[in-house]
Amino acid sequence: MRLTTTVIGSFPRLHEDLKKAIRLAVDLQVEIGIDIVSDGEQRTDMLSYLSNSMQGLEIDGEKISIRDRIRPVETIDESFKVVDCLEARKRILEKGYSNRLKIGVTGPITFGFSAALRNAGPYGSVRNMELYNDVAIVINRIARLIQSYDCLVQIDEPGVSAGFLPPNKALEPLNIATESLDPKLTSIHACGKLNPKALKSLSMVRNVSALSLEFAGSIENIDLMSRNIIEESSKKIGVGCMKVNILSMNDLTRPEKAVEIIRKMVSKIGLENISYIHPDCGMRRTRPDLVALILRNLINASKSPYV
């Protein structure tokens, strides 16, 4: 049995022309053998990607702050996320690829906290839950539109593991963000070291079938895993088994190390509860010459026996 492979989303910019960059990102993943590909998030950073989706923002380059109450723009179909999704989807269709497409959308906690840290505007503070709920409404609109094209959506929430909000507070905006989404097409990604309360909160989010977590760079996350947590939440785990914050070939996660991580996860939760394997996080800041090596090592790891 070969485990399904995917990516978390971002790649280094592959070409100065955006459409060509997206096509190159898709082609690269397909050529290497990734099953569920992304658009490579070639346009900009994870915060700026939502900058044209919301009213109420003040934008200065990649610096985003809040000026007014956040509301969805009327032209949500022109959101950078939707436009780039359709460009990647077009490439898949015109080349006849059988790969599924997954689009990462920055979560309400990560986006709301990061923007409000510069200026919270009418919300007054990063602790105002109305801020996160308002952002979540916008994210939900984008996610529903992406899923209408039969694409998977991954809610990216590094802010949960980073502790931007107490875990019990994070649940409400996350549930708003995933309202009415198709669970089979919805996952959440949280990189970094988790704690039991953060994992519990993520496991309770509605309409989500998979939690993509980091294990290669945060090996201690394996200790938090148990079959009970997985089966009670009806969620599977995406196993991050390749480090991405690396500086040289010597830092690459070797396939045999990734297999060791996967086997530990199998012993904890069972092979049937692993949704797919992937790099720990996005690779926007990873050296371009190392990206293909990371993915090829991932493919090699996916072919090994795990039990």
Give tens-digit pLDDT for 213-259.
999 999 999 999 999 988 899 999 999 999 999 999 999 999 999 99
Residue 307 scores a pLDDT above 70: no
**For residues 138-145, average pLDDT:** 98
**Strand 236-242 and strand 274-279: pairing?**
parallel
On whether residue 1 sits in a domain, the answer given is no
Domain tally for the chain? 1
pTM of the model: 0.96
On whether residue 307 sits in a domain, the answer given is no
On whether residue 11 sits in a domain, the answer given is no
On whether residue 13 sits in a domain, the answer given is no
- 256: domain CATH number? 3.20.20.210
On whether residue 30 sits in a domain, the answer given is yes
On whether residue 295 sits in a domain, the answer given is yes
On whether residue 10 sits in a domain, the answer given is no
For the four alpha carbons of 126, 127, 128 and 133, in that order, the dihedral sign comes to positive
Backbone angles phi, psi at 36, to 5 degrees: -110, 110
CA distance 155 to 152: 10
Residue 257: give the domain boundaries: 18-302
